[in-house]
Amino acid sequence: MLLFSGCEPETPKDHYSLKECQEELLEAKDYTNDGGIDHIVVVKKERRMYLYKNGTVQQSIPVSLGKNPLGQKEQKGDNRTPEGEFFIHRKLCSPKYYRSLCISYPRPEDKARAAAKGVNPGGDITIHAQPKWNADGKGDSYTLAHNWTEGCVAVTNAAMRELWYAVREGVPVTIQGTSNNR
């Protein structure tokens, strides 16, 4: 006797289901027209993200950075968050981190700097939400108190829900280093 429990594979317990997110992207329901964010600024030394609209800060949210937050990202595996001017180049439904906004790293100058040193510049840098164990947000105070990513910028799931609908692809992202002034 054969029993079938469903047509789709079961999502691992440590991963998010992607169905709702993917449907939003396919149906272009991932942005609200009631006003959006037109610039994101991350200030590493403050561990904060500032969301701008028409040159005015609309919101400030705490972030976690790469485990090795000081200085510019130089190569894959250095656990540093890159610094400079980037843009959101796509939205990603992430089984590991809920939802992600992909940043345009590495840029040509990052690739050239890495090539001059004979190293891989790394990539896949995102602004992402929390791992599945913190899906309910009860661990936000812990995750926001530490720099734990591999070079990404992490926000809470609640903050990502707001960002997801307020940001379009192409929005500029400035990541200021630990010694920059705002």
Q: Where are the domains of the chain?
A: 19-176
Q: Which residues pair with 33 in a beta bridge?
A: none
Question: Hey, what CATH topology would domain 19-176 get?
Answer: L,D-transpeptidase catalytic domain-like (2.40.440)
Q: What angle do CA 135, 138, 142 make, to 5 degrees?
A: 105
* Lowest mean pLDDT across 20-29, 83-92, 147-156: 20-29
Q: Which residues pair with 51 in a beta bridge?
A: 40, 59
Instruction: Supply the pTM of this predicted model.
Output: 0.85
Give the count of beta carbons closer than 10 Å to the beta carbon of residue 82: 25
pLDDT on residue 34: 64
Q: Give the single-character DSSP code of 66.
A: B
pLDDT on residue 2: 44
How many CA within 13 A on the CB side of residue 131? 12
Residue 8 pLDDT greater than 50, yes or no: no
The band of 31, judged by pLDDT with boundaries at 50, 70 and 90, is confident
124 token code pair: 């896949």
* Identity of residue 158: A
Strands 84-94 and 98-103: antiparallel
Residues 6+ apart with CB under 8 A from 46: none
CA distances from 104 to 32, 53, 131, 176 (A): 23, 20, 22, 15
CA distances from 167 to 15, 20, 54, 77, 149 (A): 24, 18, 13, 28, 22
